[in-house]
Amino acid sequence: MKRLTILLTFGFRDAYRKVAEWLRRHPWDLLFLDLPKESEPFIKACAEMKATAIEFWRSYGLLTGLAEPFVNSLRLRFQSILESIRNAHLRGREIRCYRDLKSYIDEKKMLERIFLLEFRYQVTGRLEVEEWKDILCREMETAGDTWNRAVERILEEAEPNSRNTVLYGGHLESTNRLRRPDTELEVILLEDYWKSPLDILRTLLWRHGTDKISDERIESYLKLQKKYLDLVIGSKDVDEAHRAWTHMIQRTIIPAPPE
């Protein structure tokens, strides 16, 4: 029997800090990270204190070819994870990465295009719904194919009678693809997380497809995303900005009447 514990990394730095704390406090034998398989030697060298965090992120940037702002964004979130796995090998623990490089880069390049669309909307006020639908559908298809390959790799490399732990930040329902008759699956969400308007739109498109979601509804979520980004841009801390957005949205929700 293989045992898999899925740690959901929804959110920003606070979410990763809580995952890092979980890794420090709980036993695990094999940790799967949402990074390209080719980055495994770099992450292991960093964990074994043979390389610094600066050297790891330099290697990651060279491997993926991603723009510096994207590397820095991941670094700010992921740094606490790097710190939590220091010297893991001394306790017989292993660290592996479950993404393939090409689809990982393709996914990040799509994020770059999405950020450019957001920036253009912020600056010009022009909202091209068809362009948004095209990139979000392609992102969804790529993410689905990528996760299918990741599932195969995780199930193949997970070890029987070991505490296998997976860091995952995609759709919650997708974790069901890891369910097998010989696999015990536990999914852990360390904090409640309210999605941004764009992430809600992604979820709707993933569940129903573009044919079931009207252009007007898509446009309404993108307009909300613009307000969300206004809040983020005006804040010094993205976690604090997201909490402020969450509190604002919660105040607008009308509670259900008592039965």
Strand spans (E) along the chain: 2-8, 30-36, 94-99, 163-168, 183-188
Q: Is 193 left (phi over 0), alpha (psi -120 to 50) or beta?
A: beta
Average pLDDT along the chain: 89
Instruction: Indicate the pLDDT class of residue 245, thresholds 50, 70 and 90.
Output: confident
Per-residue confidence (pLDDT) for residue 80, from 0 to 100: 93
Structure token digits, residue 109: 């390049």
Residue with tokens 């446009």: 219
Order of strands across the sheet that contains 163-168? 94-99, 30-36, 163-168, 2-8, 183-188
- Mean pLDDT of the region 238-257: 72
Tell me how crowded residue 146 is: count the other CB atoms within 10 A of its CB: 19
Per-residue confidence (pLDDT) for residue 219, from 0 to 100: 95
Name the percent of the chain lying above pLDDT 70. 97
Q: Is the pLDDT of residue 257 over 60?
A: no
> What phi and psi values does residue 120 have, to the nearest 5 degrees?
-60, -40
The string of pLDDT tens digits covering residues 133-173 is 999 999 998 888 899 999 999 999 999 989 999 999 888 88
Per-residue confidence (pLDDT) for residue 253, from 0 to 100: 56
The string of pLDDT tens digits covering residues 34-48 is 999 999 999 999 999
State how far the Cα of 83 lies from the Cα of 79, in Å rounded to an integer: 6
- Mean pLDDT of the region 225-250: 84
> What phi and psi values does residue 24 have, to the nearest 5 degrees?
-70, -35
More confident residue, 253 or 190: 190
Q: Is the pLDDT of residue 84 over 60?
A: yes
- Mean pLDDT of the region 185-202: 88
* Residues facing residue 183 across a β-bridge: 2
